[in-house]
Amino acid sequence: MNVFWGTKYIDSHAHAYEYEEEYLRKLERDFIILGVSDDLESSKKTLMLTEEFSFIKPCIGIHPWRIDVASRDALKQIEELIELMDKPCIGEVGLDKKFTPNTYEAQMRTLQKFLSLAKETGAILNLHAAGAWEEVADLVMKFDITHAVFHWYTGPKDLMERLQEAGFYISFNVAALFQKKHSSLLPNVDLRRVLTESDGPYEYRGQKLLTENIPSLLKFMAKELKIDEGELKRILFENASRLFL
Ligand SMILES: [Zn+2]
């Protein structure tokens, strides 16, 4: 029996609105993508895209790197769009002390708005927390959030365990294939609370990260975790189903 039957590869964090249509058509059959946005314009694009491609599930919001250029009106419009969503997902949102510490206070104000909206609507959060893992984790707990993905997790190991115990998902990026800081967390992961992602088409260490790299990541993870690849694929699909399908 083919254990791969009926399951698809999961990309729980990709900026799919940046992909060419032709590329999306190639992914359609084998993948499910949680497509994140960066600002108002890309949020609208993502919502439009998901009407055409049902394998993409939309997340909308303002990326912490875009906080400085996002207007108050843009935030308000995104909030209104979130309230209209069937299965609301807010992302990519969060805090970043590593790459954009200069806008930290504004990031904090915006994230708190998104968190209260998530609480109110039951939305899933697709979270960015570079250099601010503890801070984002504290806020998510404080706002009593129930559904969240911590994207490309590179925070402390004990925090990862606490987050998973609290029911949150940790998502491993295709960069784990060459980023030791990321892959070294794999042995401690709770399989019921893990997802895979690309952050495509982001470029990292000279390499373009893409959804199509997910099968290689899955193979690598299966080896590291000493588990059958088909079984891992099934578990990831189940995790995604529980969270957003
Ligand atoms: Zn991203």
- Structure confidence at residue 2 as a pLDDT band (50, 70, 90): very low
Mind listing the pLDDT tens digit for each residue in 198-208? Answer: 999 999 999 99
Which of 3.40.1190.20, 3.40.50.2020, 3.20.20.140, 3.20.10.10 would CATH assign to domain 9-201? 3.20.20.140
Find the 13 Cα to ligand 1 centroid distance in Å.
6
Find the 15 Cα to ligand 1 centroid distance in Å.
6
Question: What three-state secondary structure class fits 50?
Answer: helix
Q: Residue 125 is which amino acid?
A: L
| ∠ CA 178-99-38, rounded to 5° | 90
Please compute, for residue 154, the number of CA atoms within 13 A of its CA located in the half-sphere on the CB side.
15
Q: Three-state SS string across 156-181, please?
A: CHHHHHHHHHCCCEEEEEHHHHCCHH
Q: Where are the domains of the chain?
A: 9-201
Which backbone phi and psi does 118 adopt, to 5 degrees?
-65, -40
Is 14:200 a contact under the CB 8 Å cutoff?
yes
Rounded CA separation 140/17 (Å): 27
Rounded CA separation 166/46 (Å): 29
Mind listing the pLDDT tens digit for each residue in 79-95? Answer: 999 999 999 999 999 99
Find the 82 Cα to ligand 1 centroid distance in Å.
18
Q: Mean per-residue pLDDT for 167-174?
A: 98
Please compute, for residue 179, the number of CA atoms within 13 A of its CA located in the half-sphere on the CB side.
17
**Distant-in-sequence, close-in-space partners of 107: CB < 8 Å, separation ≥ 6:** 64, 67, 94, 95, 96, 100
Find the 225 Cα to ligand 1 centroid distance in Å.
25
β-pairing verdict for 207-208 and 203-204: antiparallel
Find the 63 Cα to ligand 1 centroid distance in Å.
8
Q: Supply the pLDDT for residue 147.
A: 97
Residue keyed to tokens 């559904």: 147
Asked if the model's pLDDT at residue 3 lies above 60, the reply is no
Asked if the model's pLDDT at residue 111 lies above 70, the reply is yes
Residue keyed to tokens 């990709």: 14
Rounded CA separation 27/55 (Å): 9
Find the 36 Cα to ligand 1 centroid distance in Å.
7
- Structure confidence at residue 71 as a pLDDT band (50, 70, 90): confident
Q: Mean per-residue pLDDT for 216-231?
A: 97
Q: Supply the pLDDT for residue 5.
A: 54
Find the 9 Cα to ligand 1 centroid distance in Å.
18
Give Rg (Cα) of the chain: 17
Mind listing the pLDDT tens digit for each residue in 149-159? Answer: 999 999 999 99
